[in-house]
Structure 1
Amino acid sequence: MDVSVRTVKESDFTALARIYNHYVSTTVITFETEPVTEAEMAHRVSEALATSLPWLVAEAAGCVVGYAYASKWKGRCAYRFSVEATIYLDASHTGKGVGSQLYKALIAAIRAASMHAVIGGIALPNEPSIGLHERLGFKKVAHFEQVGYKQDRWVDVGYWQLLL
């Protein structure tokens, strides 16, 4: 599949919300329970970009098929070299290598921003996400049991870390 990765732009916000809202309404991958508006997605993008952290999109045949971004890990100053990485793909583009290409580009952008640690949180179970993170060198560093409740069940969360 021919995919290009680029920095997010304003015209992407509708596609970002569409991709994300699929996971909001049908999975426990995100703990949000209400759909996100295009305006809210625009706000989230502007927050990330205001901190000079990357927000990338994957595009195939002129359509946004995924996105990935880095956000502050915690608010305290000593955490300033650590970020949380997030990735979402259009459901029809999973398992095709898009995630690997997009996440590799995100890691390169995070490295270029002089970050030291990248942390990925995964709602469990989620073998595809675990596999993606581990193929890229992330190591599991934490497992929190039953910290989320969605779709009438308790959900565990694991954290994977990559030191750059």
Structure 2
Amino acid sequence: MEIRQAWPSDLAAVARIYGHYVTGGVATFDERPPTVEDWHRAYWKIAATGLPFLVAEDDGEVIGYALAKPWRDRPAYRGTAEESIYLAPEAVGRGAGTALLTRLLADCARCGIGEVLAVVVDSGDPASIRLHERCGFVQTGRLARVGRKHGRVLDTVLLQRTLAKPVDSAATIGA
């Protein structure tokens, strides 16, 4: 398995992976799977910030992705990013999630990010929260009953990982 920077040619696979979670579960609150064109717009927006957008590739096939994006658009948040990670169903339990998230955190630190946040839907399956905690995230809060999907009312769990003291320079996002 290789963890590498995503390329535009990977975005159809990214759309397929994310689409599975949009239509078949509650891991995301999106209700319409983004198109490949939507992913292209998101890809270039993330690229413009200098933050990482990674894929896990196994035998030439993209089996997961992880990305970081600015937490908020106000300048004071420039040292904080939110991450997102999804694996193809067949890749779950093979170490791709840990490998992706570990590399994403290292790349965020190189970008001058000091704090990485994760907003995880509390679906009753602890796998995502456990992954984040294995990678050093701590739970910092819960937003109760904020999502409604597939007939369920859902909470989100906020997790945070401190990487380093943020550098107040143009190397950080939004500067």
Return the alpha-carbon distance in structure 2 between the equivalents of residues 10 and 44 of structure 1: 11
Shift of 1:126: 3.3
The answer for the alignment partner of 1:112 in structure 2 is 110
TM-superposed deviation, 1:92: 0.6
1-structure distance, mates of 2:62, 2:133: 25
What does residue range 32-51 of structure 1 map to in structure 2 within 5 Å? 32-51=30-49
Distance in 1, matches of 2:70 and 2:96, equals: 24
Q: Structure 2 CA distance, aligned partners of 1:143 and 1:121?
A: 9
Tell me the equivalent position of 1:157. Answer: 156
The CA RMSD measured in Å over matched residues stands at 0.7
Quote the sequence identity (%).
Answer: 38
- CA distance in 2: counterparts of 1:7 and 1:62, whole angstroms: 14
Candidates 53, 56, 70, aligned match of 1:55: 53
Q: Distance in 1 between matches of 2:47 and 2:113?
A: 15
How many pairs align?
A: 162
**Which digits, 9 at most, give the CA deviation of each residue in 1:102-160, with x for residues without a partner?**
11010000000011000011000330001101111100001011101100111100110
Which segments of structure 1 move beyond 6 Å, counting only runs of 4 or more?
none
Equivalent position of 1:129 in the other structure: 128
In structure 1, what is the Cα distance between the partners aligned to 2:147 and 2:132?
Answer: 21
User: What is the distance in 2 between the residues matched to 1:153 and 1:100?
Assistant: 28
After the TM superposition, which residues 46-85 of structure 1 pair with which residues of structure 2 at under 5 Å, given as runs? 46-85=44-83
Question: TM-score, normalized by length of structure 1?
Answer: 0.97
Amino acid at match of 2:60: G
> Which sections of structure 2, spanning at least 5 residues, go unmatched?
164-175
Task: Measure the CA separation in 2 of the matches of 1:92 and 1:73.
Answer: 30
